[in-house]
Amino acid sequence: MARAGRAPWLTLQRREAIEAWLFVSPTLIGFLIFFLGPLIAVVFYSVSEWNLLSGEQVFVGMANYHDALRENPDFWHVIRNSVIFAIGLVPLNMALALTLALALSRPFRGVVFFRTVFFAPVVTSAVAWAIVWKFLLQGEGGTVNALLGYVGIDGPNWLREPDWAMAAVIVTRVIKMVGLNMILYIAALQAIPRDYEEAARLEGASGWQIFRMVTWPLLAPATLIIMVITTIGSFKVFDHIYLMTGGGPENGTLVLAYYIYEQAFEFFNVGYASALAMIMFVIVLALTIVQLILRQKGAA
């Protein structure tokens, strides 16, 4: 006999809600401790003057931001470097990734081998990668210059001259990371039905016309996402610079993420570094928002 009257507190709906919260709680707690917590701390540090060595901490308002944006010429030099790095890296990376993807999106004998070859650097240790390239790019006796020598080119001392160093870190970074975008483009290409290409071929379109009039427009959403994540990634580049040039020569490869590291952990200007980190956060956030807006426009 079921008793009518008082409904039990633990209804099915409540029970399922509790279960749901239990399932998301590990992630939620992790997010609060390891993301939101530090973020709030950085906001707090960025308005303080805090010397790690003495342990003193004073509130200074927007002084650190003012320093970066108005006083310190280093900051704009660093921003300029980061922009050059992005402008050099993003188009090169994407053009190469798309070319590889077009060549490797269809099955043929050995396709897995080639995909693996181009993807392997992505999962290779950044340290090993940088050390090997440092060695290859030596001015005297470096393999790159030796090869250039065969075709009569007298290569520069790559990592010792500011402009060449920038070019070298961009190219070596592209070679390391291009496999990731290649995979993204391969996935996007494979999602395009074969019928489109066949219909176009029957109507007399050349390979280039098919690419320009069918494939490329259909890749637009993928291109957009790849562009934004690659740009964001290029703004956040740290390990590669740290290992290959240490921001040198003559600060020629001093990019934002590395500059933040330098200020915080070499010069112990935690307040200033935090302000820089906030600026970087805003840049990345802006790029992300742009991406979301463009994606929604694309979906409409």
Partner 1 sequence: MTSLSLKNLRKSFGTAEIIKGIDLDIADGEFVAFVGPSGCGKSTLLRLISGLEYITAGDLFIGERRMNDVQASRRGVAMVFQSYALYPHLTVQENMGFGLKVRKVPAAEREARVREAAGTLKLEGLLDRYPRQLSGGQRQRVAIGRAIVADPDVFLFDEPLSNLDAELRVHMRSEIAALHARLGSTMIYVTHDQIEAMTLADRIVVLRDGVIEQVGTPRELYTRPAKLFVAQFIGSPRMNVLPVERVAQGLPAGVPAGASQVGMRPEHLRLVAPEAGMLGGKITVSEYTGAASMLHVALDHGETVLVVNNDEGPRPGERIGLTIDPRDLHFFDDAGDRRSFD
Task: Give least dist CB 26 to partner 1, A.
Answer: 40
Task: Give least dist CB 17 to partner 1, A.
Answer: 37
Judged on CB neighbours under 10 Å (0-12, 13-18, 19+), 239 is middle
Task: Give least dist CB 229 to partner 1, A.
Answer: 23
Task: Give least dist CB 294 to partner 1, A.
Answer: 16
Query: In the stretch 196-225, what mask flags binding to partner 1 with x, by CB under 8 A?
Result: x-xxxxxxxxx--x---xx--xx-x-----
Considering beta carbons, is residue 197 or 239 the nearer one to partner 1?
197
> Tokens for 297?
């426009």
Q: Given the rule CB under 8 A, which of 62-70, 137-145, 192-200, 250-258 is the region that contacts partner 1?
A: 192-200
Residues 6+ apart with CB under 8 A from 125: none
Distance, in Å, from the CA atom of 201 to the CA atom of 111, rounded to the nearest integer, reads: 24
Considering beta carbons, is residue 210 or 228 the nearer one to partner 1?
210
Task: Give least dist CB 208 to partner 1, A.
Answer: 10
Does position 193 interact with partner 1 (CB under 8 A)? The reply is: yes
Asked if 131 and 267 count as a contact pair (C-beta separation under 8 A), the reply is no
CA nearest to 196, candidates 187, 186, 182, 209 = 209
| List of E strands, the chain | 48-50, 57-59
Task: Give least dist CB 201 to partner 1, A.
Answer: 6
Distances in Å between the alpha carbon of 187 and those of 86, 182, 191, 236, 263?
Answer: 24, 9, 6, 25, 40
Considering beta carbons, is residue 128 or 220 the nearer one to partner 1?
220
Considering beta carbons, is residue 151 or 202 the nearer one to partner 1?
202
CA nearest to 116, candidates 171, 183, 181 = 183
Could you tell me how many residues of this chain bind partner 1 (CB under 8 A)?
Answer: 18
Considering only residues 121 through 150, tell me which ones interact with partner 1, judged by CB under 8 A. none
Residues that bind partner 1 (CB under 8 A): 193, 195-196, 198-206, 209, 213-214, 217-218, 220
